[in-house]
């Protein structure tokens, strides 16, 4: 049995055998792991309020040879999303970050860049100011996973699209010009393309300090690229759209 201690983000929790809970974690050093928190529903001493999704914890757990589930021994809260004001939109945004990490990160594959991205975005998700952090997170996840299409040229004819509206299809790679747009394509206007460029050049903290329009086209673009590569609809994204 290997004992581990390290930073982790709580992604999801399920009931599991009477008073136990099954917990999915994205750890900094070991990637995504799943484990059993024994008697978590009866005893608050070892886990307390640390089982809320997107809680940043210092986790103590043990790996057993030839077993997929680790044994979760204790969580120490580093930061909790419940320490600040909460509303429907912020709750949906936290669920979105958790769902994307749960669905995109493979088991046992650490990724420090994704872990740092998630922490930075969580710091900026506050009531009334979730649009920019969520758009930032979705775009950067696409880039870090290798899914982000180049926005500067048409993949069909090769024309330079800088400073212009581009068209994208949720079912196809790349972006196109107006003339080569595919059936069911959506436009991403020049202002949104420029916004994407700023997001890839700046930090979420710097950008979140500005006033941002609530225009949803760039966020929709980023989410639809995620969904295409994950091959599933993101439930939390629908909740965000209702907020």
Q: What architecture (CATH level 2) is domain 88-242?
A: Up-down Bundle (1.20)
Q: Average pLDDT in the 108-129 region?
A: 95
Strands 186-188 and 175-176: unpaired
The predicted-structure confidence for 175-195, as pLDDT tens digits, reads as follows: 999 999 999 999 999 999 999
142 closest CA partner among 106, 112, 114: 114
Q: Average pLDDT in the 20-37 region?
A: 95
CATH 3.10.20.30 describes domain 2-83? no
**pLDDT above 70 as % of the chain:** 97
Domain boundaries, the chain: 2-83, 88-242
Q: Residue 41 and residue 134: Cα distance in Å, rounded? A: 32
Copy the structure tokens of residue 200: 């890839």
Neighbours of 200 (CB within 10 A): 13
What's the confidence (pLDDT) of residue 35? 94
DSSP per-residue codes, 84-96 = S---HHHHHHHHH
The predicted-structure confidence for 129-159, as pLDDT tens digits, reads as follows: 999 999 999 999 999 999 999 999 999 999 9
On the question of pLDDT at 167 being above 60, the answer is: yes
Contact by Cβ (8 Å): 16, 51: no
What's the confidence (pLDDT) of residue 29? 95
On the question of pLDDT at 106 being above 60, the answer is: yes
Contact by Cβ (8 Å): 106, 30: no
The predicted-structure confidence for 38-92, as pLDDT tens digits, reads as follows: 888 776 667 878 898 999 999 999 998 888 899 999 999 999 999 999 999 999 9
pTM across the whole model: 0.94
On the question of pLDDT at 243 being above 60, the answer is: no
On the question of pLDDT at 240 being above 60, the answer is: yes
Q: Is the dihedral of CA 48, 54, 57, 60 positive or negative?
A: positive
On the question of pLDDT at 212 being above 80, the answer is: no
Residue 71 makes CB contacts below 8 A (sequence gap 6+) with 35, 36, 38, 61, 62, 64
The predicted-structure confidence for 228-239, as pLDDT tens digits, reads as follows: 999 999 999 988
Contact by Cβ (8 Å): 9, 56: yes
Output the average pLDDT for the chain: 92
Contact by Cβ (8 Å): 24, 37: no
Residue 79 makes CB contacts below 8 A (sequence gap 6+) with 55, 56, 122
On the question of pLDDT at 214 being above 60, the answer is: yes
Of residues 43 and 225, the one with the higher pLDDT is: 225
> What is the number of helices (H) and of strands (E) in the chain?
7, 8
What's the confidence (pLDDT) of residue 56? 97
Give phi and psi for 68, each to the nearest 5: -70, -35
What's the confidence (pLDDT) of residue 18? 81
Of residues 82 and 117, the one with the higher pLDDT is: 117
Q: What DSSP state is assigned to residue 45?
A: T
What's the confidence (pLDDT) of residue 101? 98
pLDDT-based confidence at residue 211 (cuts at 50, 70, 90): confident
DSSP per-residue codes, 148-213 = PPP-SB-TTT--B-TTS-EEE-TTSSSEE-STTPPTT-EEE-HHHHHHHHHHHHS-HHHHHTS---
What's the confidence (pLDDT) of residue 124? 95
On the question of pLDDT at 3 being above 80, the answer is: yes
Element (H, E) at 76: strand 70-79
């Amino acid at each position: 049995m290997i004992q581990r201690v390290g930073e982790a983000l709580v992604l999801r929790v399920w009931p599991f055998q009477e008073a136990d809970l099954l917990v999915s974690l994205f750890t900094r050093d070991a990637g995504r792991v799943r484990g059993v928190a024994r008697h978590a529903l009866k005893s608050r001493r070892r886990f307390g309020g640390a089982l809320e999704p997107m809680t940043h914890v210092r986790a103590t757990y043990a790996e057993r040879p030839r077993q997929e589930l680790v044994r979760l021994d204790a969580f120490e809260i580093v930061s909790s999303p419940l320490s600040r004001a909460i509303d429907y939109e912020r709750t949906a945004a936290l669920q979105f970050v958790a769902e994307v990490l749960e669905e995109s990160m493979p088991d046992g594959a650490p990724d420090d860049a994704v872990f740092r991205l998630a922490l930075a975005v969580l710091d900026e998700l506050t009531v009334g100011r979730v649009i920019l952090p969520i758009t930032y997170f979705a775009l950067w996840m696409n880039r870090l996973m290798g899914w982000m299409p180049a926005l500067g040229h048409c993949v069909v004819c090769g024309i330079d699209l800088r400073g212009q509206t581009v068209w994208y299809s949720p079912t196809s790679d790349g972006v196109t010009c107006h003339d080569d747009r595919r059936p069911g394509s959506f436009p991403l206007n020049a202002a949104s393309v420029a916004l994407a460029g700023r997001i890839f050049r700046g930090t979420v903290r710097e950008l979140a300090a500005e006033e941002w329009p609530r225009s949803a086209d760039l966020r929709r673009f980023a989410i639809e690229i995620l969904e295409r590569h994950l091959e599933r609809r993101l439930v939390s994204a629908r909740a965000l759209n209702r907020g």
